[in-house]
Amino acid sequence: MNVLNDNPHSAHCRLCKQRVAEMLGAIYGGCEQNYSFGWSASPRDYAKTPIGATLERIQSSLENFRGNRDFIKSPLVPPCDYYVSDPPFILEFDENQHFSRPRLIALSLYPKDVKLGFSMTDWRDLCRGLDARDDEPFDRDERRAWYDTLRDLVPTVYGFAPTARLYGGAHPWCSLDIASIHDRKRFLGWISTRLAGNP
């Protein structure tokens, strides 16, 4: 998938996000949007898990980037975009604002052997190319990068498949037809490769 395309379709299309939910529901028999799990957003609570050291490094690096040291505002991981319960996995729909310098910093600290539901190379290239900046509030980019990190890594602690990610600007997702077997197979192919950790 060419993630840096010249498609004039907006990465912020609301219908695209709705169509992704409809496709997930049609394929997996159900999909919940903006679902909360009650998982802690504090790295201290993962100290004895396989992701503990990684989260500490990422938190420290984000703090040192611009000196913003209080960006973990919520005690819990904010709701995910989409949750499918069988098999259990999360899917995130990333719009341009997710591809920032803090997100690039966080991604660069992921373990090399971690299984991801998106292409690390593509996501880092998007961060470099889009270089999104959102300074309202002043630490918004650090917050977003931190919560994206948690949505990537924490689900694995609970036995989930790798969190799958779609880039909003990669395809006019709203053009997919849930009644089309071809479109459903195509969409399933995109998701299946991500859940297998081979995007």
pLDDT in tens, 74-108: 999 999 999 999 999 999 999 999 999 999 999 99
The CA distance from 183 to 3, in Å, is: 19
Residue 20 lies in a domain: no
**Average pLDDT across the chain, whole number:** 92
Residue 179 lies in a domain: yes
Residue 147 lies in a domain: yes
Edge-to-edge strand list for the sheet holding 164-167: 32-35, 80-85, 88-94, 164-167
Residue 89: per-residue pLDDT: 95
Residue 13 lies in a domain: no
Neighbouring C-alpha atoms within 13 Å toward the C-beta of 4? 12
Of all helices (H) and strands (E), which one includes residue 84?
Answer: strand 80-85
Cβ-Cβ contacts under 8 Å for 86 (sequence gap 6 or more): 28, 29, 30
Using an 8 Å Cβ cutoff, are 106 and 149 in contact?
Answer: yes
Question: What's the pLDDT band for 11 if we cut at 50, 70, 90?
Answer: low
- The three-state secondary structure class of 76 is strand
* Number of independent structural domains in the chain: 1
Estimate the crossing angle of helix 101-108 against helix 140-157, to 10 degrees.
Answer: 30
- Tokens linked to 46: 């993962």
Domain that holds residue 106: 26-195
Neighbours of 135 (CB within 10 A): 9
Question: What's the pLDDT band for 6 if we cut at 50, 70, 90?
Answer: very low
Q: What is the pLDDT of residues 32-76, one digit of tens each?
A: 999 999 999 999 999 999 999 999 999 999 999 999 999 999 999
Q: What is the pLDDT of residues 112-165, one digit of tens each?
A: 999 999 999 999 999 999 999 998 999 999 999 999 999 999 999 999 999 999
Question: What's the pLDDT band for 2 if we cut at 50, 70, 90?
Answer: very low
Position 8 pLDDT exceeds 90: no
- Tokens linked to 96: 């341009």
Residue 4: per-residue pLDDT: 39
Residue 9: per-residue pLDDT: 67
